[in-house]
Amino acid sequence: MKLYHVLRNGGKFRTVFDFAGREVAHWFPGHMAKGLKQMRAGMKNVDCVIEIHDARIPFSGRNPVFQETLDIRPHLLILNKMDLADMTNKQRILKKLERNGVRNVLFTDCLKQRDDNIKKLVPMVMEIINNNPRFNRDESIHYCLMAIGVPNVGKSSLINSLRRTNLKKGRASRVGGEPGITKAVLTKIQVCERPIMHLLDTPGVLPPQIESVETGMKLALCGTILDHLVGEDIIADYLLYSLNRLEKFSYVEKYDIQEPSDDIQHVLKRIAVKLGKTQRVKAITGVGNITVTVPNYTAAAYHFIRAFRKGELGRVMLD
């Protein structure tokens, strides 16, 4: 992006997002409540808890309900989708997590065919387990992990990546781009041969109460809440606000927009024109009904959000 564009528009951008009195989106369907109950019950057979979260929101939206679970078993936090996150301030993130009591952290990109960080996971887990008492599992020569996290952060992709790396086997968990793909509770999957290690796959579980509207919006933007519960028009506007705030202006060239804009209607109109996403509607005039072609703003918003989620608008750190 040309510097003069950025300087000229710098003072025009919103410094805060107007949530217009919106309430936090709630999504806690039955399979989540059931999953949480069975995860707690199965904890006695677990050596280490693997919490997976989106690297673009390392602090926002981590389920506080998990905290009581994490307190009774060793814990490793995996910040996945690092390929989509701006890692410039990685050390600041690690220090803040450490201040919050999270010392074991691993960044991963589980969709990558060969991710060197995935190779570090089993040695890290073994070190964590060996430094903590195993209690009732002290006699067992097999190890059991439990994968937990909010929806659509890559738990199933992590399992498949571990199997690909350690067992040279294909995927065992279904992967999807929408939250709520994994609904089965405590599915036991082998992820390593030496040592023998199994991982319990669990459904993504959101907190029954999300802490704030902004946290809910970040979760929605990263695809952990179903889009229609928030509204794609609102998510697209929050995305535009975030990109401008972070000075990530690649959307301007991608969609042939003259300069950065803070007006979501203008941006969506340009996207619709660029992609040919239009619709024909009837308009009532003084001389009768006529059919006119107008931009399809909903389709444009859908495309804009998905371009962000696929990393086509640049790497972003929302926290």
Specify the pTM: 0.85
pLDDT score at 37: 78
pLDDT score at 314: 93
Q: Beta strand pairing status for 143-148 and 197-201?
A: parallel
Query: In which element (H, E) is residue 52 found?
Result: strand 48-54
pLDDT score at 73: 82
Q: Report how far apart, in Å, the C-alpha atoms of 71 and of each of 49, 63, 75, 120, 257 are.
A: 10, 13, 8, 23, 50
pLDDT score at 24: 65
Contact 218, 318 (CB under 8 A): yes
Q: Report how far apart, in Å, the C-alpha atoms of 142 and of each of 134, 138, 152, 171, 210 are.
A: 12, 10, 28, 21, 37
pLDDT score at 18: 83
Q: Which residue has the tokens 């931009």?
A: 295
pLDDT score at 3: 42
Distance, in Å, from the CA atom of 84 to the CA atom of 118, rounded to the nearest integer, reads 17
Token duo for residue 183: 């609904």
**Helix, strand, coil in percent for the chain, rounding step 5:** 40, 15, 45
Q: Beta strand pairing status for 197-201 and 75-80?
A: unpaired
Distance, in Å, from the CA atom of 246 to the CA atom of 254, rounded to the nearest integer, reads 17
Token duo for residue 271: 């996207």
Distance, in Å, from the CA atom of 33 to the CA atom of 29, rounded to the nearest integer, reads 7
Direct distance between the N- and C-terminal alpha carbons of the chain, in angstroms, rounded to an integer: 23
- Which among 157, 172, 97 has a CA at the least distance from the CA of 121? 157
pLDDT score at 26: 62
pLDDT score at 79: 95
- List of the chain residues with pLDDT < 70: 1-11, 21, 24-31, 68-71, 113, 135-138, 170-186, 286, 288
- Which among 153, 208, 152, 203 has a CA at the least distance from the CA of 24? 208
Contact 49, 146 (CB under 8 A): yes
The model's pLDDT over 63-112, given as tens digits with 9 standing for 90+, comes to: 787 776 666 788 899 999 999 999 999 999 999 999 988 899 999 987 77
